[in-house]
């Protein structure tokens, strides 16, 4: 699955790219316009130069003592000429030229007006009834350099504009999306069992209907789950009294019945009623696990709760073989309701006692960082079965009695309090066995 792209990143990059593209288009248009203007300016310069020099050249040539002599105008000081000129007669004979003029770049015969060669732009003007001509030439490379410098002057700001635009767009978009970020944080911060409406403040008009739809969906889901939990809890609760009364009557019938098939049937009915009573109790625990009130207002110390549950199980079940390992500290605080912790712990220990090897103890360890580990000996559980054991009414390959709800209740409580529950087989550091570890959130 492709990772989600941040809206802030998408808008920031899109806005910056749009600004840069518009700037580039504007710079290209401006460069073309500047090139046209430069060409007009340079052409005007050629024409003005020719018109200024031509009268002086005519006066110099007419006043010469020797006719037809070519004269090269010396430079006052060394410099690079962008404009060079020739003064010629109608036959093309050079009468005067600038100090850096190269006759090879000019036309073979004078042609009035503007002409272009492969390397130069030439302007020609005439005097004395088209008997004298002046030709002023400018390198085309000089014009290209000027146009390129003008274009670069328009493009250089992009080096500063792009990072500044990206930063500005990023900050502006983040500021504009702050209400959405707050809304996202409110969703992420709530627990898995919290189905209360999500408070949305000043969301954009495009997101606000979505937030209302989410709250409406949460409300419908909460009502559906409440109805399911209520039915489960009420059914289990209502069954307790008639089950207890029926069980008492069956026990009395069992004690009064003579030896034979009647007493055996009474024993079987008693066994079935006890299983039904245990199932009813598990359903009530499951309803509590799926409901709220799993997180306390104040953190709970797990050590006395753990000792109490282990002592209670040891007293009620003389066959219980429990090995308790506690940390050196007197306090292990975690965010879980005391009743929820007792239900989780009781289900995990009962599951280990039922399905573990009868000759080996069940090891219960709590670390100072609120990691609970319950380990029992027994055959290794296949990985395919292990991955399904936290489902409702799912049982492994054990022949021990049970409803298949113990691990499901424990996993539900762990999810509700933000703890992580992991199953391992073989157990850590062993070649066999089964291990359940629950890492609680420390307060």
Q: What are phi and psi of 85, to 5 degrees?
A: -145, 155
**pLDDT at residue number 221:** 77
Average pLDDT over residues 118-138: 89
What pLDDT, on a 0 to 100 scale, did the predictor assign at position 114? 92
Question: CATH 3.40.50.2300: does it fit domain 294-439?
Answer: no
Q: What is the rounded average pLDDT of the residues 359-366? A: 88
Does the structure show a pLDDT above 70 at 41?
yes
- Listed by start position, the domains of the chain span 7-159, 208-287, 294-439
5-17 pLDDT per residue, tens: 677 788 888 888 8
Residue 39 Cα to chain centre, angstroms: 53
Instruction: Say what percent of the chain tops pLDDT 70.
Output: 82
Handedness of CA 79, 80, 82, 88 (dihedral sign): positive
pLDDT at 228 over 80: no
pTM: 0.47
Pick the closest to residue 162 from 266, 261, 23, 271 (CA basis): 23
Q: What is the pLDDT of residue 216?
A: 87
Question: Can you tell me the distance from the alpha carbon of 279 to that of 236, in angstroms, rounded to the nearest whole number?
Answer: 8
∠ Cα 428 432 434 (to 5°): 65
Give the residue with greater pLDDT, 248 vs 168. 168
Q: Which residue has the higher pLDDT, 290 or 428?
A: 428
Q: Give ∠ CA 111-113-117 in degrees, rounded to 5.
A: 65
CA–CA gap between residue 40 and residue 18 (Å, rounded): 33
- Quote the CA–CA distance of 176 and 78 in Å, as a whole number: 63
Question: Do the beta carbons of residue 123 and residue 116 sit within 8 Å?
Answer: no
For residues 319 and 47, what is the distance between their CA atoms, to the nearest angstrom? 118
What pLDDT score does 10 carry? 84
pLDDT of residue 4: 67
pLDDT value at 75 more than 70: no
Distance CA 250, CA 411 (A): 35
Distance of CA 345 to the CA centre of its chain: 38
- Cβ-contact 313, 439 below 8 angstroms: no
**292 pLDDT exceeds 70?**
no
Residue 337 dihedral angles phi and psi, to the nearest 5°: -65, 145
Cβ(236)–Cβ(284) below 8 Å: yes
> Mean pLDDT of all residues in the chain?
81
State the DSSP H helix or E strand holding residue 420, giving kind and residue range, or none if neither.
strand 420-424
Q: Which of 193, 196, 189 is nearest to 219 (CA)?
A: 196
Q: Which of 291, 251, 289 is nearest to 390 (CA)?
A: 289
- Note whether 380 and 432 are within 8 A (CB): yes
pLDDT at 191: 61
Residue 320: predicted pLDDT: 65
Selection from 325, 322, 338, 341 nearest residue 421 by Cα: 341
**pLDDT tens-digit readout, 372-407:** 999 998 888 888 888 888 777 666 555 555 566 778
CA dihedral 317, 350, 294, 234 (to 10 degrees): -80
pLDDT in tens, 177-219: 888 888 888 887 776 556 778 887 788 887 888 888 888 888 8
Q: Are 74 and 99 in contact (CB under 8 A)?
A: yes
Q: Take residue 354 and report the two structure tokens written for it.
A: 């039922």
Q: For CA atoms 40, 45, 46, 50, give the dihedral sign.
A: positive
Q: Give percent above pLDDT 90 in the chain.
A: 5
Helix and strand numbers, DSSP H then E, in the chain: 10, 13
Of 101, 113, 119, 118, the closest CA to residue 50 belongs to 113
Under a CB-based contact definition with an 8 Å cutoff, are residues 369 and 330 in contact? no
What is the number of alpha carbons within 13 Å of residue 418 lying toward its C-beta?
Answer: 16
- pLDDT tens, residue by residue, 76-92: 666 667 888 899 888 88
Q: Which residues pair with 71 in a beta bridge?
A: 96
State mean pLDDT over 252-278. Answer: 77
Are the C-beta atoms of 409 and 438 separated by less than 8 Å?
no
**Annotation: CATH topology of 208-287:** Helix Hairpins (1.10.287)
For residues 369 and 420, the answer to whether their CB atoms sit within 8 Å is no
| 321: three-class secondary structure by DSSP | coil
pLDDT at 121 over 70: yes
């Amino acid at each position: 699955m492709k990772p989600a792209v941040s809206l802030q990143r998408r808008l920031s990059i899109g806005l910056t790219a749009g600004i840069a593209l518009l700037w580039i288009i504007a710079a290209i248009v401006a460069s073309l316009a500047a090139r046209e203007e430069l060409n007009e300016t340079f052409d005007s310069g050629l024409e003005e130069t020719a018109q200024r020099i031509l009268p002086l050249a005519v006066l110099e040539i007419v006043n010469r003592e020797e006719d037809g002599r070519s004269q090269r105008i010396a430079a006052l000081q060394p410099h690079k000429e962008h404009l060079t000129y020739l003064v010629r007669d109608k036959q093309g004979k050079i009468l005067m030229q600038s100090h850096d003029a190269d006759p090879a770049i000019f036309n073979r015969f004078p042609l009035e007006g503007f002409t272009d060669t492969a390397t130069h732009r030439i302007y020609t003007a005439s005097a004395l009834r088209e008997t004298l001509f002046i030709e002023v030439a400018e390198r085309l490379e000089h014009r290209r350099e000027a146009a390129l410098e003008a274009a670069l002057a328009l493009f250089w700001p992009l080096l500063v504009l792009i990072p500044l635009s990206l930063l500005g767009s990023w900050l502006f978009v983040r500021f504009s999306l702050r209400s959405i970020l707050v809304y996202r944080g409110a969703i992420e911060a709530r627990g898995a069992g919290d189905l209360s409406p999500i408070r949305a403040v000043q969301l954009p008009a495009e997101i606000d209907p979505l937030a209302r739809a989410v709250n409406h969906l949460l409300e419908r889901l909460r009502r559906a789950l409440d109805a399911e939990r209520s039915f489960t809890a009420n059914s289990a609760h209502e069954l307790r009294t008639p089950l207890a009364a029926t069980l008492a009557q069956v026990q009395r019938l069992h004690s009064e019945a003579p030896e034979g098939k009647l007493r055996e049937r009474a024993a079987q009915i008693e066994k079935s009623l006890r299983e039904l009573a245990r199932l009813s109790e598990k359903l009530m625990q499951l309803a509590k696990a799926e409901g709220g009130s799993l997180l306390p207002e104040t953190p709970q110390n797990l050590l006395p709760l753990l000792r109490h549950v282990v002592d209670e199980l040891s007293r009620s079940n003389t066959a219980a073989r429990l090995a308790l390992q506690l940390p050196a500290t007197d306090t292990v605080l975690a965010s879980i309701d005391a009743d929820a912790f007792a239900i989780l712990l009781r289900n995990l220990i009962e599951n280990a006692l039922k399905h573990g090897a009868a000759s080996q103890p069940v090891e219960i360890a709590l670390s100072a960082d609120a990691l609970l580990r319950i380990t029992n000996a027994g055959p290794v559980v296949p990985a395919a079965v292990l991955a399904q054991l936290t489902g409702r009414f799912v049982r492994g390959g054990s022949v021990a009695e049970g409803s298949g709800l113990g691990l499901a209740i424990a996993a539900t409580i762990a999810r509700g309090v933000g703890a992580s529950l992991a199953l391992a087989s073989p157990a850590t550091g062993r070649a066999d066995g089964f291990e359940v570890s629950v890492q609680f959130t420390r307060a």
